[in-house]
């Protein structure tokens, strides 16, 4: 399956001309890390025939570095140096020589500092790193295209260090985003649960004038037994942008799904420098089981250093539907912020298609001081058809965490007061509530002989007009005993209580649990933890969880997670993983006891 994915990634029907052809005594490309390492290489760059001892390329960051006995030859001169940092696509570079001083000679229109700043990206590229890859290719010639695709000629594929197949010409890198022009079969997969899934894309770009990306997703289930759902499904999508001038674009996009969904939009956008922009367009959507909609839309974003940030969206639909949104934010002072927002929506919904008209508004004023935040909010929701109205002012005071006793103790206090005034028809009602929360936390303190102790306390008081008041509290005690450099035993005791008071009636609940965790901090080759929880009130064990990780050979790792239920006296679940870390992706072989399935996953990272 893995080979299938790699092969699928490699199928390209229209290739670009390479802008860097590298010949070397030895070249290797790591698929895991998207990096190239080469020895005794030569290539043509910026009009020079370049040769050198050791080449390192990080394709993801587009960092190129040639080290050792670097020679750059053109018909009438020869340049020599110790290292060349270069960017092939704009033919710029810097040739560095280490003598009594460091001399740096620019090649082309080079930004020397920017080129030298790319140096860290190539520092970890080494023969052992490449050879430790799950997939790597070796050969004597490689081509890099302007979209940073990599093609190898007469390359050999190595899987986990073992020589695999030889390939005459092969696309080594992958990715629809990297391709400048052409058709790409991006994915071809079979999954027992979903059947066959293919994704293909076509990219066309004409200089700075036009860009188009179209894709097709296809799922086939009818040909395979035991797979539910639609027999097959296709999703076609196209996004096209015509660059009409500086800061002026015309966008056309459409999407069609064989289930019947269709949407399309045509819009023009103009950016006015910085974040300022204007957009206007028309959109047509055809959802399932609902009437089609055609919207005329416009949006404006205006940002002024002193005038604040204004954002507006307005839309009108052919069946008299309207949607509008306005947001305005203004920093009044360094620590005082003002924000005003409003929406209006006249939308049709339900089976009858009746029109609802809702107006909402909010007004916020936030003051941030050194030790507390004070904010006032006002929210209004008015149903203009149903004649209901909610008016809700809110006041929040929050004490920023205060450190006491040299940071050992941390204190935080929040208070929220909300006043609601509601109208339903001709009836008015009011409600109010106040919520106060206090958090007190003590950092673990070392007591001696590897023993440390800390605690957290949280209290909350809720009062409201209707009298459904409550008080709740929670206490957590944490202790840790170190048993070795990586081994520790942790204990955790939690107690929580909640008291409801309504008039003379007080009722409440409380709960507590005690748990212990035996932890081995991850390091080669072993890491993991096991927990045991105990109910002190009932006097019995509850659950046990375990998470174990063991390093195997190379970058392979065995991982297991399990859960034992003492109440039912059975193993609830056990998951077993065999994981291969491979740079930009991870290969996982999994067995899950609940689903009783073996799964293989390629997880991008």
Partner 1 sequence: MLGSACISLKIPAVFPGGDRVDRMVICASVAFDKGLYEPRDITSDFRLRDGRVVCHVRLNDVGRELRLRWRWYDPGGRLFRDTGDLLVNVEERFLSVLTATDILELTEDWDDGAIGRWTVVFTVDDVRVESLDFRIGRD
Among 12, 15, 46, 131, binds partner 1 (CB under 8 A): 131
- CA-nearest of 7, 17, 132 to 556 is 132
Residue 583: strand, helix, or coil: coil
Does 82 help bind partner 1 (rule: CB under 8 A)? yes
Subset of residues 87 to 106 that bind partner 1, contact rule: CB under 8 A: 96, 98-103
**Residue 92 in contact with residue 85, Cβ under 8 Å?**
no
CB of 138 to partner 1, least distance (A): 5
Does 128 help bind partner 1 (rule: CB under 8 A)? yes
Burial class (CB in 10 A: 0-12, 13-18, 19+), 123: exposed
Q: Rounded to an integer, what is the distance from CA 481 to the centroid of its chain?
A: 37
Strand order in the sheet with 63-74: 92-98, 77-87, 63-74, 48-58, 35-45, 20-30, 135-144, 150-159, 162-171
Which residue stretch of 134-142, 248-256, 358-366, 594-602 sits at the interface with partner 1 (rule: CB under 8 A)? 134-142
CB of 121 to partner 1, least distance (A): 12
When the beta carbons of 361 and 551 are compared against partner 1, the nearer one is: 551
**Residue 193 in contact with residue 158, Cβ under 8 Å?**
no
CB of 573 to partner 1, least distance (A): 39
Which residues are CB-contacts of 353 (< 8 A; sequence separation ≥ 6)? 291
**Residue 533 in contact with residue 518, Cβ under 8 Å?**
no
Which residue stretch of 24-32, 500-508, 560-568, 588-596 sits at the interface with partner 1 (rule: CB under 8 A)? 24-32
- Rounded CA gap, 464 and 466, in Å? 6
Token reading at 299: 């949006």
Number of residues near partner 1 (by CB under 8 A) = 33
Among 38, 88, 139, 281, binds partner 1 (CB under 8 A): 139
When the beta carbons of 161 and 291 are compared against partner 1, the nearer one is: 161
When the beta carbons of 116 and 395 are compared against partner 1, the nearer one is: 116
Does 133 help bind partner 1 (rule: CB under 8 A)? no
Subset of residues 153 to 172 that bind partner 1, contact rule: CB under 8 A: 156, 158, 163, 166
Q: DSSP states of 493-546 as a string?
A: EEEEEEEEEETTEEEEEEEEEEEEEEEE---SSEEEEEEEEEETTTTEEEEEEE
CB of 133 to partner 1, least distance (A): 12
Among 4, 14, 60, 68, binds partner 1 (CB under 8 A): 68
The contact pattern for partner 1, residues 209-228, with x = CB under 8 A and - = no contact, is: --------------------
Which residue stretch of 22-30, 324-332, 474-482, 578-586 sits at the interface with partner 1 (rule: CB under 8 A)? 22-30
Among 119, 304, 554, 584, binds partner 1 (CB under 8 A): 119
Residue 114: strand, helix, or coil: helix
Centre a 10 Å sphere on the Cβ of residue 170 and count the other Cβ atoms it contains: 19
Among 1, 14, 25, 60, binds partner 1 (CB under 8 A): 25
Among 4, 47, 106, 127, binds partner 1 (CB under 8 A): 127
Q: Cis bond leading into 5, ω under 30°?
A: no
CB of 128 to partner 1, least distance (A): 5
Which residue stretch of 122-130, 289-297, 321-329, 342-350 sits at the interface with partner 1 (rule: CB under 8 A)? 122-130
- CA-nearest of 523, 554, 601 to 136 is 554
- Rounded CA gap, 297 and 463, in Å? 45
Does 26 help bind partner 1 (rule: CB under 8 A)? yes
For residue 183, give the DSSP letter.
E
When the beta carbons of 99 and 448 are compared against partner 1, the nearer one is: 99
Subset of residues 37 to 66 that bind partner 1, contact rule: CB under 8 A: 39, 53-54
Binding site residues, partner 1, CB under 8 A: 25-26, 28, 39, 53-54, 67-69, 82-83, 96, 98-103, 116, 119-120, 123, 126-128, 131, 138-140, 156, 158, 163, 166
């Amino acid at each position: 399956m893995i080979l299938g994915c790699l092969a699928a990634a490699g199928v390209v029907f229209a290739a670009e001309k390479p802008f860097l052809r590298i010949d070397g005594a030895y070249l290797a490309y790591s698929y895991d890390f998207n990096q190239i390492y080469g020895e005794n290489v030569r290539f043509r760059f910026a009009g020079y025939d370049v040769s050198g001892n050791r080449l390192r390329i990080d394709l993801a960051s587009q960092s190129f570095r040639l080290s050792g006995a670097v020679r750059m030859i053109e018909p009438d001169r020869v340049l020599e140096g110790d290292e060349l940092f270069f960017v092939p696509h704009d033919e710029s570079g810097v040739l560095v020589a280490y003598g009594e001083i460091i001399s740096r000679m620019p090649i082309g229109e080079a930004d020397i500092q920017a080129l030298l700043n790319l140096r860290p990206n190539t520092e970890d590229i080494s023969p052992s790193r490449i050879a430790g890859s799950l997939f790597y290719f070796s050969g004597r010639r490689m081509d890099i295209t302007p979209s940073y695709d990599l093609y190898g000629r007469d390359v050999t594929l190595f899987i986990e260090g073992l020589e695999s197949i030889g390939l005459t010409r092969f696309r080594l890198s992958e990715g629809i985003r990297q391709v400048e022009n052409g058709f790409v079969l991006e994915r071809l997969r079979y999954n027992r649960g979903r059947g066959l899934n293919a994704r293909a894309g076509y990219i066309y770009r004409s200089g700075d004038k036009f860009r188009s990306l179209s894709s097709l997703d296809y799922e086939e289930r009818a040909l395979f037994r035991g797979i539910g759902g639609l027999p097959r499904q296709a999703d076609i999508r196209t996004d096209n942008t015509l660059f009409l001038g500086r800061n002026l674009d015309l966008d056309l996009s459409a999407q069609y799904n064989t289930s019947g969904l269709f949407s399309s939009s045509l819009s023009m956008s103009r950016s006015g420098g910085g974040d300022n922009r204007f957009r206007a367009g028309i959109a047509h959507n055809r959802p399932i089981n609902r009437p089609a909609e055609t919207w005329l839309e416009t949006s404006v974003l205006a940002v002024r250093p002193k005038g604040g940030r204004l954002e507006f969206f307005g839309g009108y639909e052919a069946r008299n539907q309207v949607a509008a949104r306005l947001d305005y934010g203004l920093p009044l002072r360094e620590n005082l912020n003002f924000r005003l927002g409003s929406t209006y929506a006249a939308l049709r919904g339900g089976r009858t298609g009746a029109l609802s008209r809702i107006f909402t508004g909010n007004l916020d004023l936030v003051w941030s001081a050194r030790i507390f935040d004070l904010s006032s909010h006002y929210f209004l929701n008015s149903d203009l058809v149903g004649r209901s109205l909610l008016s809700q002012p809110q006041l929040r005071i929050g004490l920023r965490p205060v450190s006491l006793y040299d940071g050992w103790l941390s204190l935080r206090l929040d208070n929220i007061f909300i006043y609601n005034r509601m109208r339903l028809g001709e009836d008015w009602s009011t409600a109010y509530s106040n919520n106060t929360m206090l958090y007190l936390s003590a950092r673990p303190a070392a007591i001696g002989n590897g023993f440390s102790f800390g605690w957290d306390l949280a209290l909350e008081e809720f009062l409201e007009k209707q009298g459904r008041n409550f008080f709740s509290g929670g206490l957590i005690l944490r202790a840790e005993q170190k048993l070795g450099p990586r081994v520790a035993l942790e204990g955790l005791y939690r107690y929580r209580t909640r008291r409801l008071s309504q008039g003379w009636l007080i009722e409440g609940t409380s709960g507590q649990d005690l748990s212990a965790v035996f932890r081995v901090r991850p390091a080669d080759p072993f890491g993991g933890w096991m927990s045991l929880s105990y109910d002190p009130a009932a006097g019995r064990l509850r659950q046990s969880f375990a998470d174990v990780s063991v390093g195997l050979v190379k970058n392979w790792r065995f991982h297991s997670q399990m859960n034992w239920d003492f109440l039912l006296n059975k193993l609830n679940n056990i998951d077993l993983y065999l994981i291969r870390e491979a740079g930009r992706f991870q290969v996982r072989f999994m067995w899950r006891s609940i689903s009783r399935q073996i799964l293989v996953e390629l997880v991008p990272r």
